[in-house]
Amino acid sequence: MSETNSAQLKAIQTKLQNLVACVVAKAAQDPAFAHELEEVLLSDSLKKKLASTSAKSKKHVLSPVTVLHGKGESGLRAELETLTDDELRRVVREEGLFKGRELKSISRVDLLTEIISSAQRRLTQGEAFLKNS
């Protein structure tokens, strides 16, 4: 191998190491990105086995604001109580709550409380502009 090829290979190796370090750092900070990265890196045979469950996971669980508007806080709480912890985490991800935090470490009660309070804030957002002076 010539000296030029060796230098080029070393440069490529350094760039790839920097790329991997960057991706790992992003995955450590962003759980959603880490999940996407994990899916991309799964083998094809495992992807085939998981295909049926991934189709279910893409389905929107529920819209907290819509339920709160239609059924009130008690109705929203009742709907959320029927969901599993994983489904609650999916609602939190879909709604963009707890950004940058690991969802598995958050208790079920805290998930419920945050979903409900966030839905209430979003439902009443802009209400001050509608009130007559």
For 18-38, how does the pLDDT look when each residue is reduced to its tens digit (9 = 90+)?
Answer: 888 888 888 888 888 888 777
pLDDT at 132 over 80: no
pLDDT tens profile 61-111: 789 999 999 999 999 999 999 999 889 988 988 888 877 778 788 899 999
Residue 117 and residue 74 in one domain: yes
Check whether residue 67 and residue 91 sit in a common domain. Answer: yes
Range of the domain at 91: 60-125
Q: Are residues 42 and 68 in the same domain?
A: no
Q: Contact, 95 vs 118, CB < 8 A?
A: yes
Q: Look at residue 2 and tell me if it is in a domain.
A: yes
**Claim to verify: residue 42 and residue 91 sit in the same structural domain:** no
Nearest CA among 87, 132, 133, 96 for reference residue 114: 96
For 20, phi then psi, to 5°, come to -65, -40
**How many structural domains is the chain composed of?**
2
pTM for the predicted model, two decimal places: 0.53
DSSP string of 49-97? HHHHHHHHHTS----HHHHHHHHHHHHHHHHHHTS-HHHHHHHHHHHT-
